[in-house]
Structure 1
Amino acid sequence: MNRRPNLSARLKLTLSYAGFLLVAGVLLLAVMWVFVLRWVPNDDARSIQKRFGAVIIIGPRRSDLLNGFAPAAATALAFLLVFGLLGGWILAGRMLAPLTRIASAARIASNGSLSHRIRMAGPTDEFRELADAFDTMLERLESHVAEQQRFAANASHELRTPLAVSRTLLDVARSDPSRDQGELIERLRTVNTRAIDLTEALLLLSRADGRSFTREPVDLSLVAEEAAETLLPLAEKRRITLDVTGGTAHAVGSAALILRMVTNLVQNAVVHNLPADGTVTVHTERLHDASVLRVENTGRPLPPELVPTLTEPFRRGTERVRTDEHAGVGLGLAIVHSVVRAHDGTLDLAPRTGGGLLVTVRLPAPCGAASEPPRAPYSKPRQAP
């Protein structure tokens, strides 16, 4: 925006200091006039005599005092004006020095360098708090930009893979018309489905990050049962026991996003499990002012250093057991983390001692929601091979 040039903040403060000092001087002289000079009588005689008992007071005329006082008062006011301008300029410069450093850091950040920090020293005051808040903002912004760059690079790589495979298959079909078209169509359908799944996951992740959804009451226990019913065929195929236990746990948010969150957690628990005879337990409960969802599954032991990275986009966890059929697009736990964060909740991942993973989601419970007794557990026993 084009703005008219105006006085700088330092000059404004200087003029304010000098003006205040000048006004204070004028008021001081006015006080002297009101309480001192007005008691001096104005008479044509060279001296005024008043008798107070045995004491005789002899004083000058008011005009004589005014003639001597006015030049001195004007000189004092001129000195106060000059002193106020010089002192105000120096004081304003010292007061605005921290803002100059902050403005310089902001200009550096606007040029793309987010690694610069102010790191203001000295006692804690308003300027120190502002500088610390600015440093914190730059740190989070730098981390967010780096995360977005990694995400864009990974997303581009993931999307490029199915497109490249599709082009290769089409080139093979064009160069070899006698090739089985049914096999080609089936492979293209598989690749296209994977690309669509990835695109939908990216859109869902963007929707959760943007918090562009309508909030409504949601019962986590009902959502858990729905997700379990949907994934029951997959659990039966892998000979996994899927249990849903606990009571009602009310939250406020997007029913679709919360269902996708629970579905992702249960699907990950089923896929990244033992080859056979594993278990997945989904538990919901109301705990103080939070609604809690726990998803626990058996599996191979997980290194502790791997667990915190599982919520990163496109991090599939190579140490975890999975198959190509249900490997996903690498956004399952990333979507879960994003949905939990969009609902102002917390997500905790912890490796189980005997192997597998325990995931705990805590969402704020609506005020006035009463806890209810646990429902009968929903369970699907292991199927015989």
Structure 2
Amino acid sequence: MDREPGWSVRLKLTLSYAGFLMVAGTLLLATVWVFLLRYVPEVTTLSPGVRRTPGPLPHMPDRSDLFDAFVWKAAAAMGFLLVFGLLGGWILAGSMLAPLTRITAATRQAANGSLSHRIHLEGQQDEFRELADAFDTMLARLEAHDAEQRRFAANASHELRTPLAITQTLLEVARNDPDRDTGELVERLHLVNSRAIDLTEAMLLLSRANQRSFAPEHVDLSLAAEQATETLLPLAEERGVALETSGDIAPTSGSKALLLQLTTNLVHNAIVHNLPEHGTVWVTTSVRPRTVVLTVENTGETLTRQLVSTLTEPFQRGTGRVRGDHAGVGLGLAIVKSIAEAHNGALTLDPRPGGGLRVTVELPARRRRATSSGLDPRRAAGDGRASTPRRQSLSPAAGADEIAEKPR
């Protein structure tokens, strides 16, 4: 932004210090002058009754003598204070503004694209050092976000290039072999196109979660868990995985669509990344003093903590854990993490001792308000449902219409 040149802060502080010193010196000298005038007469005269002694009369100073003796020395003192105030103020202002100069230099380097530079301002805590520490923290987050965006762009371009390359290959094969059966070609092109669409939709959803472009509304995580498990029950039946849901009403605030997508992604991953036969998925919700918790656990192969720590990265898939046609696009847990962070929550992944994964999402709880009509606040916060804990078991052998709820 172009601005007209003006006085520097250092010069302004210097003039302020010098001006304050001059005002203080003037007031001090004026006080001394008024004090002296009380004891020095305007004109010196001898009283008629005073006896004169032989010899010359002693000199009795009056105000004119005081003026001649005081004013020039006061002017010299004021000049000294002016010079001292300007020089001392310039040095003092430069010393105080030195940290600001380093912060400005770091800001310019960051504006030029150098996010790795840090100020590291030494010394005890004060306003400048607090600003420098906050700026260093901001640079660290920007650098991490920039690196993440670069990795995401590289991975996304690779993932998007793959279906396009496959499509081009299939079309070239069809062009070189006109007598080839087109039915198989169309089916394969349909599968490749569906994967590209799924990948694009997942990337758009991830971008929406990162931008936090949603209006908060009342959401019950337990309802989202029930809806997700019922939706994915056919997939669980196909893979021989039993679904079990239990827990309390878990009221929070956020986007219903995004939180339902979060729950659906977790349950889908738990079904897909499971044992080949007789697998189980546990979906539970709980309430803590300030937060609500959604936990999704599944059976499966034993995972290392090193592998688990990478699963939330975009386009990361657990090697050997995916089977069938539901491998996804590698953005499931990345989307879950972004949605949780967009709702001021946290995502935790832990390997289960017996194999499989435990995923925990913790979100801020919605404040409950007691009503004057005497309704139970838990009932009011849970869309009219009682807060009795419940357990819901969805097994592959039972249809969706045979789901039974019973107290835990």
TM class, shorter-length? over 0.9
1:173 shift after superposition: 1.7
- What SS does the corresponding residue of 1:333 show, helix, strand or coil? helix
- What SS does the corresponding residue of 1:200 show, helix, strand or coil? helix
1:363 shift after superposition: 1.0
Structure 2 residue 25 is the aligned partner of structure 1 residue 25: yes
Aligned length: 376
The 1-side partners of 2:35 and 2:194 are apart by 95
Partner residue, 2:242: 241
The 1-side partners of 2:24 and 2:77 are apart by 12
* Identity value in percent: 63
TM-score, normalisation: structure 1: 0.93
Query: Map of 1:205-284 to 2, 5 A cutoff?
Result: 205-284=206-285
Partner residue, 1:90: 91
1:39 shift after superposition: 4.5
1:35 shift after superposition: 3.0
- List per-residue Cα deviations over 1:103-145 (Å, max 9, x = no partner): 1111222221211112122222222222222111111111110
Partner residue, 1:383: 397
Contact in 2 for aligned 1:115/1:138 (Cα 8 Å): yes
Seen in structure 2, the aligned counterparts of structure 1 residues 49 and 177 have a Cα distance that, compared at 3 Å, is: farther
Amino acid at match of 1:379: S
Amino acid at match of 2:105: S
TM-score, normalisation: structure 2: 0.88
Query: Map of 1:305-324 to 2, 5 A cutoff?
Result: 305-319=306-320, 321-324=321-324
1:379 shift after superposition: 1.3
- List per-residue Cα deviations over 1:245-296 (Å, max 9, x = no partner): 1121111100000000000000000000100101001011222121111111
Contact in 2 for aligned 1:345/1:361 (Cα 8 Å): yes
Partner residue, 2:166: 165
1:375 shift after superposition: 4.6
Seen in structure 2, the aligned counterparts of structure 1 residues 37 and 377 have a Cα distance that, compared at 3 Å, is: same
Contact in 2 for aligned 1:48/1:59 (Cα 8 Å): no
Amino acid at match of 1:290: T
- What SS does the corresponding residue of 1:122 show, helix, strand or coil? coil
Partner residue, 2:55: none
The 2-side partners of 1:202 and 1:49 are apart by 111
Contact in 2 for aligned 1:218/1:255 (Cα 8 Å): yes
Query: Map of 1:107-122 to 2, 5 A cutoff?
Result: 107-122=108-123
Seen in structure 2, the aligned counterparts of structure 1 residues 150 and 324 have a Cα distance that, compared at 3 Å, is: farther
Larger mean Cα displacement after TM superposition, 287-296 or 332-341: 287-296
1:100 shift after superposition: 1.2
Partner residue, 1:358: 358
Partner residue, 1:346: 346
Structure 2 residue 191 is the aligned partner of structure 1 residue 177: no
1:84 shift after superposition: 0.6
Partner residue, 2:15: 15
The 2-side partners of 1:240 and 1:267 are apart by 11
The 1-side partners of 2:238 and 2:73 are apart by 104
Structure 2 residue ranges without an equivalent (≥5): 51-58, 370-376, 379-385, 399-408
The 2-side partners of 1:261 and 1:49 are apart by 110
Amino acid at match of 2:77: A
- What SS does the corresponding residue of 1:329 show, helix, strand or coil? coil
Query: Map of 1:73-152 to 2, 5 A cutoff?
Result: 73-152=74-153
Seen in structure 2, the aligned counterparts of structure 1 residues 42 and 357 have a Cα distance that, compared at 3 Å, is: same
Structure 1 residue ranges without an equivalent (≥5): 52-57
Partner residue, 1:195: 196
Partner residue, 2:402: none
Seen in structure 2, the aligned counterparts of structure 1 residues 48 and 185 have a Cα distance that, compared at 3 Å, is: farther
- List per-residue Cα deviations over 1:163-191 (Å, max 9, x = no partner): 11111112222222221111111111111
Amino acid at match of 2:234: P
The 1-side partners of 2:48 and 2:16 are apart by 47
RMSD between superposed Cα atoms in Å: 1.9
Query: Map of 1:281-296 to 2, 5 A cutoff?
Result: 281-296=282-297
Partner residue, 1:69: 70
Partner residue, 1:373: 387
1:66 shift after superposition: 1.4
Amino acid at match of 1:203: L
1:346 shift after superposition: 1.3
1:5 shift after superposition: 1.0
Contact in 2 for aligned 1:46/1:61 (Cα 8 Å): no
Larger mean Cα displacement after TM superposition, 258-267 or 361-370: 361-370
- What SS does the corresponding residue of 1:305 show, helix, strand or coil? helix
Larger mean Cα displacement after TM superposition, 13-22 or 110-119: 110-119
- What SS does the corresponding residue of 1:334 show, helix, strand or coil? helix
Amino acid at match of 2:299: T
The 2-side partners of 1:222 and 1:315 are apart by 29
1:59 shift after superposition: 5.6
Contact in 2 for aligned 1:270/1:297 (Cα 8 Å): yes
Amino acid at match of 2:212: R
Amino acid at match of 1:383: A
Amino acid at match of 1:287: R
- What SS does the corresponding residue of 1:201 show, helix, strand or coil? helix
